[in-house]
Amino acid sequence: MLYGFPYMSYYYGAMVERSAMLVDMPRPRIERKALQRELAELPRQIAAYRGELTATPGPDKTRREFLEWQIKRAQMRLATIKTRLAAGSTDRA
C-alpha cells in the first residue's frame, strides 16, 4: 500500500497500479497448443476420478455424486476440445 492507496505499489522503484503488474504464467500463445495440451491431460484426470470413485466407500453418497459429476464434466470438455480441434478454427496467435 502506498500512502493510503491500496491499489498503488512500488515495482522496481516505480510507482504503478497493482492491476498493471503482470504475473509470469507459462501458457501457450496459440490456442490450438493449449487445447492439445488439455486434450492430453483430460484422459489422465478422468482415470484419476474413476480410480477415486472406485475407492470411495458406498455410504459416502455426496462424494460419489461429486466424482461422477467431475467425470461427466471432463468427458464433455474432452468432446468440446475434439470438436474445436477438428474445426481447425483455433489457429489464432
Question: Which three-class secondary structure string do you get for the chain?
Answer: CECCECCEEEECCEEEEHHHCCCCCCCCCCHHHHHHHHHHHHHHHHHHHHHHHHHCCCCCHHHHHHHHHHHHHHHHHHHHHHHHHHHCCCCCC
| pLDDT tens track, the chain, 93 positions | 444 444 444 444 444 444 544 555 565 568 888 899 999 999 999 999 999 999 988 888 999 999 999 999 999 999 999 999 998 754 454
